[in-house]
Amino acid sequence: MIKSKLWQLEIEQRKKSKYDNVVGINDNISWSNQIRSYTMHPYKLVKDHRSGWETQDIDSFLKGMLLDDLMESNLQHLKSIS
């Protein structure tokens, strides 16, 4: 019975570690840990807080015209931290 119980605990730990590796662990989810902010009034600004990318052309961003710039910035950020 002890062996069975230990094996069950091992299986649960493996499942948890697989989930943590895929999803990632973020212990502190709060308002100040946002990824991107959109300000539309009184001025216009979109800012990605991970990479530092920002634009004041919010209309083009919302239409999807600046997504390549944002993705390039995020890729450069990921490259710099790895």
What's phi and psi for 45, nearest 5 deg? Answer: -160, 135
What is the reported pLDDT for 22?
56
Return the beta strands (E) in 4-79 as ranges: 36-39, 45-48, 54-55
Q: What is the pLDDT of residues 16-71, one digit of tens each?
A: 776 665 555 555 656 667 888 999 988 899 999 889 999 999 999 999 999 999 99
Whole-number pLDDT of residue 50: 85
Mean of pLDDT values over 3-18: 84
Write down the pLDDT at residue 63. 94
What does pTM read for this prediction? 0.57
Query: Do the beta carbons of residue 45 and residue 39 sit within 8 Å?
Result: yes
In whole angstroms, give the CA distance from residue 36 to residue 52: 10
54 Cβ contact list (under 8 Å, min separation 6): 45, 46, 47, 48
